[in-house]
Amino acid sequence: MMDLADECKHMEAFVHMSLAYTDPNLPNGHIQERVYPMQVGDPEELLTEIVDLELQDIPKMTQRILAYYPNTYTFTKSLTEHLIMKRVDLNRIEEAQGGKAQWPVSIVRATQVGAGAFEPLPGWVDGVTGANAAVFLMGKGIQVLQPDMGALVADIVPVDYLVRTVLGSAAFMVLPGYRFLLPYNEVLADGVDTNSINVPNVQYFPYIYQVSASGFDETTWHQAYDSVRSYWLRNTKLVLPTAQEYFVANRSLFKAKFFMKYSLPQSLSSVTSAISNASGVGGKTGATPDANSLNRTIELASRVIDSLQPFLRHSWVFDHQNVQQMEHDMQHDCQFNLSRFKHMDWDTYMTNFAFGVHAYITPAPPLGLRNVTVPEGWACSLYLHPGAAQHSIIDRQIESVIFSASDIQKRTERMLNELVLSLEKPGQELKDKKKMEEWVNDFDASLDDWCHDDSDILKSKDNMVNLGHWAKQSESHEEHIRIEVLNDRRVGQSIRQIIETSGVPQSTVVGESLKILQRMKERTQLPYIWSAGAFLNTLFKRLFSSLRINEMDIARLKEQIQGKNVVYVPVSKTIIDQLLVWYICLRYHLPVPAIVCDEALALLGPISDILRISGAYFVRRDLASRSPLNTAVASAYTEVLLKEHGALSMVIERARSRTGRLQTAYHDGLMNMVIEGTLGHNQQQEETPKQLSPLPTPAGSFSSLSIKKETVLVPVNITYEKIPELRTLIDQVLDQKPRSLTVTSSFLRPSASVADRAAIKDNGVIENGKYGRAFVGFGNVIDVRQTVKEANLPANNNKRLSTVAVKDEDTVADYVARKVQRGQHEAAVVSPVTLVAATILFGRATGGIPMGKINKHVSWLREELVERKISIDWQADEDVSTIVAYSMHLLDARSNVTMDGKRITDQTVVRVVEHADNVMDLSYMASQLIELFLPEALFAVVYLSGVKETTKKELYAQFTFLVRLFKHEFIYPWSREEKFNTLLDWFVKKNLLVVNEEGQYTKAVTIENNEVEYTRVCLLASFIYPTLDAYWITSCSLSALRDLPYMPRKIVPVLSQWIAAHLITGRRTVYREVLSTEASQNAVDNFLAIGFIDAVHPKTKLSPDAQILLLELGVTTNEDLVMVSSRKNEELEDLPSNAHHESENILLKLDDIASLCHEIEKYRFVTENVNSKHNAQVFDKCQNQIRSILRADQSYAAQHGMQLDKEEDQMIQLVYSLKAASSTPVLSDDGSGKHSRRVSQAYNLKSS
C-alpha cells in the first residue's frame, strides 16, 4: 500500500487502522501516543524472514510470535506500525535530498469498537467483532468477564466516534516536511506526567491517534453488564444473573452458583432439545437452521473474546492529546463535532448496544423487535435510569422479621397472578373461595411486613411532603374529619330536612350520617401507601413493557400546581387508570391523590383491596340511588379532603369506555363537589340559612368567591397498546356471556398442531409486559375559579353548547368538564398499534389488504400526525416493517387476521377474521385514531357521498348533519365551523377539491386519475363508516314503531343487533361493528335528543299486566319506553338563529325516522356488488322482518294467562322473542354451551 501511495502524485492522506491492544506485556498505567518496540526482533528482518518462509517453517515462526503476542493478528498490526515508521524515515531522507515530499500519514488505534452511539442508528452493529462479541455472549448467559473485573473500566469506543476520528485525521493532516521526530516511546520515571514528554514546538510524525474511552465519562464493566442484562430481561424471557452474582468476590463460590442457577438449567434444556430433535418430535430430525446458526455465532464470539482476554485485565490509560486537538479543530463542525460523545449516557448506550446485537447479530431475531430505551425528553416510570435518584422505598424489597426474601418473592408472585386474573376475568376469582382466602392471607402478611419494617426508611419523612395528610396523621385526625363533615352547612341542612319531614330523632339521623361517612371515607396509613406503591411497581412491570411519560409534562405540572389543590382527571378506560396516575404521582413526587371511586369498585376483590390501601374513598355515583344526605356527606368529605390532603383523582365519565374513546361527562355531582370545595365556605359553624338547597345552584354558590386555596384540574390521557379487560369489554359491547379465550403470541399463523403445542407450552406462564407499552399524557392545568368565571359569562352560559342535555344546576360543571375533555384530547399520545389496526380494518372493503399497502398507509398516517404535532411512539430510526410486525403481535394477529402464504412479503394479503369478537378487538385498538382524525373522517364521508359538483353551503350542511348525528357517540373538542373551514382548505390544497370563480367545488380526484389520494380519503372515511352503519341499522330497527306504539328503550339495542345479524348475512354491510349494543344505545340517545323519537314512562302507557310481564322478562318499570315523536324537532327550535339556519337544509326537512334512515343511507359505504336501490328499501324490509316475529300461534302473554290488547301483546312478544334468542346457548364441538361467535348462529328466534 505504501508503494502504491509513493506512486500517487497528489497523495492527501494515508490512514492506517491499528489496534490499541497489541502487546499484553505493557505495564499498567499510561500508554503513550508512541510506537513501542517489538520484542520478537527487528521489524524489517522479521518481514523478510516471514516472506521467505517455507511451508514447513510456518508453525515454528507462529510459536515464536505467540511467545510475545496473544495471536498473529495483534503481531501484524504492531509490525505494520514499525514498517510505517521505517518507510517514513526513508522518505524524510529522500525529501531532505530534494526528492519527493513525504505524504501525510496517521496511525489510528482503537480499543474495543462497539455499537454506534448515534449513527447510522443508535445501537447499530455489524459483525461479531470487538465488544460486540462480549455483549452478545452476556446476553446468552455465558461468562465473558472474570468475577474480579467488575470495577475495571469498560474501554469501549462507539463506531461512529471512531469513524469521525478517522475522517478527521485525514482531513486535518498536513505535509510534515522533513523536520520531525519519529514517535518512538520513551521510558519515563515513576510519577512523570506523560504530557511532559512532548517537546514544545517539535513535530512528531507519523501522527498517532489513540481512540479509547479515556476521553469520555467512563463506565465500569459492572455498570455495563447491568445495562445489558436489563435489556435482555425486558425484551426476552431469558434469566440472567445479577451483577452482584456475576462479579462475586469469591471465584470458587461464583463458579458453583453460576453453574447451579444458570448453566445447569440451560444444559438440561439443551439436552431436552437434543433428545426431542433426535426423536423427531414434530416431524423434524436434527437441529434447526436457526440453532445451527446460533451455535456458529456463539463459537465465533467466544474466539473473539478469547483473543481479547489478555488485554481486558489491564488498567491502561491511553494518552490522547492528538485526539483532543482534533476535537478542538472540529468543534464548530456540526456534522463532525465530537463533543456530544464526551458526556455520553453509558446506560442508554449499552442498552442500545444490547438491542443492536439482538437485532443485527442474533440469528433470526424476532419480528417486530423494538428497543426499550426511551427517546430524548421521555422517561420510563417502571425502569428508572441508573443516574436518576432511585426511589429508596418502592424500588426495594421489603425486609420481614418473619418471612425470608424467597418467601416474600413467592408471595408477591401469587398476589400478582391473582390480581392479573381478576383484571382479565373479573368476578371469577370471587367464586374460588380458596384463592380468595390465599389472597387475603398474602395481602395481610404483606401489609404486616410493611407496618413492622425494622429499617428506618419509613421514619424519615423529609421527602414525603407530596403525601399530604398521610405523612402527618395524628391520633385526633379521624375525630377532626368527623367534626368537619358534621359541621358542614350542607350536611346540617340535610339532617334538619329529614328531621322536619319524617320526625326521626336527631341522634338517629346524625348516626346515619356517620355511618355513611364511615363507609365512604379512605382509611389508609403511611405504611399502606408504600406497600401499595411497591406492589403497583411490580404489577405494572408485569402488565406493561414500559410506562412512559414526557419529562416536560412533569416539570410543567410541578410548576403549575405549586401551592394549589390538585384534582387529576384521567380518561376512564380501565379499572387501573386512577392507580396508574396515583403511581406516577408517587414516583415523581407529585401530590399523591386520594382516589374518588364508585361504590361498585369496592366489591371487586383484589383490585378493591389495592384501591383501599392507595387511599380510595367510595361515593355512590348513581343519582337515582343516592340520597340527599349521602350527597351532602360526600360533598362535605370531598371539601375536607381538598383542604386537608390537597390532592384528589376522579373520572367524569359514568363508567370505563367500552370503545376506548372519550365519553360524554356524567353529571352526578362530583364536579359540583370539587367546584363547591374550591369556591364555597360550607365548613363554618355558623347557623346555616334554611332556604339553601343541598346542592347550591351556580348562581348562588359558585359566585361566592371566598378566599381559599386555589384548585386546579389536571386532564390526563392514558394510552394503552392493549388492556387486560378487553375481553370483558367486548363481551359487554356485544351483549354476550364471557367466554374463555386462548391468546397466542405468534405473529404468523402456524398449523393447528403447532398452535396447540404453543398453547400448551405457554399454559400457566404469565408473560411480563404482554400488554405492551402505556403512555401517560398530562394536559395543561385548568384553574377552577377562573373557569367558573368563564362559564358564567353570557356567551358560555348556554346549556345548548353541550353535546348532551344538562340540568340547570349542572351548566357550570358541564362547561368545566368540556374544558377538561379538551385537555384530555390534547394530551393524547398515539401508539402505532392503533394505526395498524385501523389500516387492517380498512382492508375489509376490498376483501383484504397487501402488506405493502399497510406499510404505506401506516407511514402516511404517521406523517399526518407528526405534521399536526401529535406525539406518536414511533421514532425516526424505526422502520415501518418493524412497527407493523410489532403492532401485529399486540393485535393478536394469529387470532384476529389471516395471511396468505408462509412467508411475509409486500404482496402478502392480510384479512380480518370476520367474527364479531375479532373485529371488535381491532376496532377497540383503532378507536384512538378515530378520535384524532374524526373531523377529517366526517369530511371524507361527505366528499365520497356527494355529487361531483357542490357548493360550500351544501358541504357545510352535510358536515353539520353528521356532526349532530354522532354527538352522543363522540366528543368534539373543536369548533364545528372553524374545523370545517380548515378541512375545506386542506382538501383544496391537496387538489381533492377544485373551486371555480362562481364558488362551485368540484371533486377532482377519483380512483382512476389519482389512486393514492383517493385511497387515502377512503381510509379516512373508513374510520366512521362502521358507526354510520350502526346508526343506519338502529334507525331500521325503529321501523317496529310503525306497528307498535311503543317499545322498551332497553330492547332497542338488542333488536338492532338482531337486524344487524340479518343484514350481515344478507351482505348489506361489511362491518361487524354494527353488532355492538354500545353504538345502538348511543344512536337511540341521539334520536331522542334530535326529536325523532320520544321517551315515556311505562306506568303512563302500560297496563299492570303488561308491566308484570316486562318485569319477568328483565325490563323494569323504571326504564323508559320509546315511541314515535309527537313534537317537531324541538331541540332544533331552541337553537340560536345561526345554528337553525345551518341545519335547516337537512334535519328540518326530515319528517320521521324513516326519512332519517334514508338520509343516513346516502352517506354509507356501499360495495360495488350491492344494489343501492335494494338498500333504499331496507327500512321497509326490516319492518316486515320484525312483523314475522310478532306473529305466534300463542303469544307469550296468552301462555301466561293474560289478555292484553293487541299492541301490548305484540310488544311483549317482541321482547320475549329477542330475549329468548339472545340467551340461547349454542353447543360447541365438545358439547359445552357457550355464546356463539358466528353471526349466522347469533339469533335463533322463537315465536312461542
pLDDT above 50 (res 413): yes
- Among 448-462, 677-691, 873-887, 1078-1092, which is the least confidently predicted range? 677-691
Instruction: Determine the residue type at 614.
Output: S
Q: What sign for the dihedral angle of Cα 321, 326, 332, 334?
A: negative
- pLDDT recorded at residue 95: 84
Domain with residue 547: its CATH number is 3.40.1130.10
Q: 1188-1215: per-residue pLDDT in tens?
A: 888 777 888 888 888 888 888 888 989 9
Q: Which set of grid coordinates corresponds to residue 3?
A: 508503494
pLDDT at 698: 39
Cβ 815 vs Cβ 803: under 8 Å: no
Tell me whether residue 451 is in a domain: no
pLDDT digits (tens, 9 = 90+) for 977-993: 999 999 999 999 999 99
Asked whether residue 156 falls in the same domain as residue 235, the answer is yes
CB-count burial class (<10 Å; 0-12, 13-18, 19+) for 764:
exposed
Asked if 202 and 181 touch (Cβ cutoff 8 Å), the reply is yes
Lowest mean pLDDT among 30-44, 394-408, 772-786, 1048-1062: 394-408
Residues 6+ apart with CB under 8 A from 306: none
Considering only 135-144, 459-468, 483-492, 1153-1162, which range has the smallest mean pLDDT? Answer: 459-468
So what's the pLDDT on residue 912?
Answer: 92
- List Cα–Cα distances, 643 to 487, 652, 678, 982, in angstroms: 15, 21, 9, 45
pLDDT by residue (tens digit) across 201-246? Answer: 678 889 999 999 887 888 898 899 999 999 998 888 888 888 888 7
Domain stop point among 254, 284, 317: 317
**Dihedral angle, C-alpha 559, 562, 565, 571, nearest 10 °:** 20
**1063 in the same domain as 980:** no
In the prediction, which pLDDT does 201 show? 66
CB 852 within 8 A of CB 1015: no
User: What pLDDT band is residue 9 in, cutting at 50, 70 and 90?
Assistant: confident
The answer, yes or no, to whether residue 451 has pLDDT greater than 90, is no
Residue 425 included in any domain:
no
pLDDT at 430: 65
Which residues are within 8 A (CB) of 362 and not within 5 positions of it... i.e. 6 or more apart? 136, 139, 294, 297
Dmax (CA) for the chain in angstroms is: 129
Q: Name the residue type at position 473.
A: Q
Q: Which three cell numbers stand for residue 870?
A: 401529535
Q: Does residue 893 fall inside a structural domain?
A: yes
Q: From CA 60, how far away is CA 1080, in angstroms rounded?
A: 88
Task: Please tell me the predicted confidence (pLDDT) of residue 1137.
Answer: 44
Residue 251 confidence (pLDDT) above 70: no
**φ, ψ for residue 1102 (rounded to 5)?**
-100, 150
* pLDDT beyond 90 at 404: no
For residues 713 and 785, give the distance between their C-alpha atoms in angstroms, rounded to a whole number.
10
pLDDT for the residue 517 = 93
Closest CA to 944 of 863, 880, 872, 1028: 1028
Both 576 and 725 in one domain: the answer is: yes
Q: Is residue 478 part of a domain?
A: no
**Residue 1076 reports pLDDT greater than 80:** yes
Lowest mean pLDDT of 367-371, 442-446, 462-466, 1110-1114, name the range.
Answer: 462-466
| pLDDT confidence bin for 115, thresholds 50/70/90 | very high
* The pLDDT of residue 696: 39
Same domain assignment for residues 945 and 1075: no
Q: Does the pLDDT value for residue 1238 go beyond 50?
A: no
pLDDT band with cut points at 50, 70 and 90 for residue 835: very high
Residue 188 lies in a domain: yes
901 and 1032 share a domain? no
* Residue 1071, domain extent: 1025-1241
Q: What b/e string do you get for 455-466 counting C-beta neighbours within 10 Å, with b at 16 or more?
A: eeeeeeeeebeb
Q: Average pLDDT of 1020-1030?
A: 95
Q: Are 1011 and 1083 in a shared domain?
A: no
Q: Where are the alpha helices (DSSP H) in 195-335?
A: 221-235, 243-246, 251-258, 264-279, 289-312, 321-329
For 640-664, the pLDDT digits (tens) are 999 999 999 999 998 888 888 888 8
800 CA to centre of own chain: 35
Is residue 536 located within the same domain as residue 635?
yes
pLDDT at position 387: 62
Mean of the pLDDT values across residues 527-533?
Answer: 92
**Assigned domain for 408 exists:** no
The cell for 295 is: 451455535
Nearest to 162 by CA among 206, 118, 105, 204: 118
Return the pLDDT at 365. 87
Q: What is the CATH number of the domain that holds 854?
A: 1.10.10.10
Could you tell me the CA-to-CA distances from 786 to 647, 702, 790 in Å, in that order? 19, 11, 6
Average pLDDT over residues 538-549: 94
Please tell me whether residues 1005 and 1140 are part of one structural domain.
no
Q: What DSSP line would sit under 897-929, residue for residue?
A: EEESSSS--TT-EEEE--SHHHHHHHHHHHHHH
Q: What's the pLDDT at 124?
A: 93
At 1029 the pLDDT is 94
Would you say residue 313 has pLDDT above 90?
A: no
Whether the pLDDT of residue 426 is over 50: the answer is yes
* pLDDT value of residue 543: 94
The total of structural domains in the chain comes to 4
Is pLDDT above 50 for 975? yes
Question: Are both 602 and 708 inside the same structural domain?
Answer: yes
Structural domain contains residue 458: no
Mean pLDDT lowest among 864-878, 1207-1221, 1229-1243: 1229-1243
Least confident of 346-350, 449-453, 1244-1248: 1244-1248
Quick one: 128 and 264 in the same domain?
yes
Domain finish residue from 317, 349, 370: 317
CA 648 to chain centre: 24
Whether pLDDT at 1017 is above 80:
yes
As a whole number of angstroms, the distance between CA 558 and CA 584 comes to 13
Percent of the chain whose pLDDT exceeds 70: 84
Report the chain's mean pLDDT, rounded to a whole number.
83
- Shared-domain flag, residues 148 and 77: yes
784-791 and 670-679 are packed helices; what angle lies between their axes, rounded to 10 degrees?
110
User: Can you tell me the distance from the alpha carbon of 608 to that of 98, in angstroms, rounded to the nearest whole number?
Assistant: 92
Per-residue model confidence as pLDDT tens digits over 93-112: 888 888 888 889 999 999 99
Give the relative orientation of helices 916-932 and 934-945 as an angle to the nearest 10 degrees: 100
Q: What is the mean pLDDT of residues 853-860?
A: 96
Taking a C-beta distance cutoff of 8 angstroms, is the pair 471, 526 a contact? yes
How many whole angstroms separate alpha carbon 362 and alpha carbon 364? 6
Would you say 1036 and 1176 are in contact if contact means Cβ atoms under 8 Å apart?
Answer: no
- Comparing 49-63, 69-83, 465-479, 516-530, the range with the smallest average pLDDT is 465-479
- In whole angstroms, what is the distance from residue 322 CA to residue 169 CA? 9
Classify each residue of 26-52 as buried b or exposed e, where b means 16 or more C-beta atoms within 10 Å of its C-beta.
eeeebbbbbbbebebeebeebeeeeee
Please compute Rg for the chain using Cα positions.
Answer: 37
Predicted local confidence at residue 353, as pLDDT? 94
pLDDT level of residue 283 (50, 70, 90 thresholds): very low
Asked, for residue 757, whether it belongs to a domain, the answer is no
Is residue 5 very low, low, confident or very high in pLDDT (cuts 50, 70, 90)?
confident
Q: How confident is the model at residue 1035 (pLDDT cuts 50, 70, 90)?
A: very high
Same domain, 901 and 959: yes
pLDDT band for position 763 (cuts 50, 70, 90): very low
Tell me the pLDDT band of 611, cut-offs 50, 70 and 90.
very high
* Strand order, beta sheet including 993-995: 949-951, 1000-1003, 993-995
Is the pLDDT reported for residue 583 higher than 90?
yes
Instruction: Looking at 898-1010, list the stretches that DSSP marks H as alpha helix, in order from N- to C-terminal side.
Output: 916-932, 934-945, 952-965, 976-989
CA angle 1000, 1004, 1009 (to 5 degrees): 165
Mean pLDDT of 985-1013: 90
Distance CA 663, CA 297 (A): 53
Q: Distance between CA 512 and CA 441 in Å, rounded?
A: 32
pLDDT at residue 1232, rounded to an integer: 41
pTM equals: 0.88
Residues 6+ apart with CB under 8 A from 736: 1235
In the predicted model, is pLDDT for residue 904 greater than 50? yes
- C-alpha–C-alpha distance, residues 864 and 933, integer Å: 10
pLDDT at 562 exceeding the cut of 70 = yes
Residue 281 pLDDT greater than 70, yes or no: no
What is the C-alpha separation between 190 and 25, in angstroms, rounded?
A: 18
Mutual angle of helices 628-644 and 506-520, in 10-degree steps? 50
The DSSP annotation for 492-505 comes to HHHHHHHHHHH---
Cα–Cα distances (Å) from 255 to 144, 147, 259, 261, 310, in that order, read 13, 9, 6, 10, 20
Least confident interval from 429-433, 1114-1118, 1122-1126: 429-433
pLDDT in tens, 186-201: 765 555 555 555 656 6
Which phi and psi angles does 462 have, rounded to 5°? -65, -35
881 pLDDT exceeds 50? yes
Count Cβ neighbours within 10 Å for each residue of 347-357 and write b for 16 or more, e otherwise: bbbbbbbbbbb
pLDDT at 1111 exceeding the cut of 80: yes
Q: Could you tell me what percent of the chain has a pLDDT over 90?
A: 40
* pLDDT average, residue stretch 754-775: 61
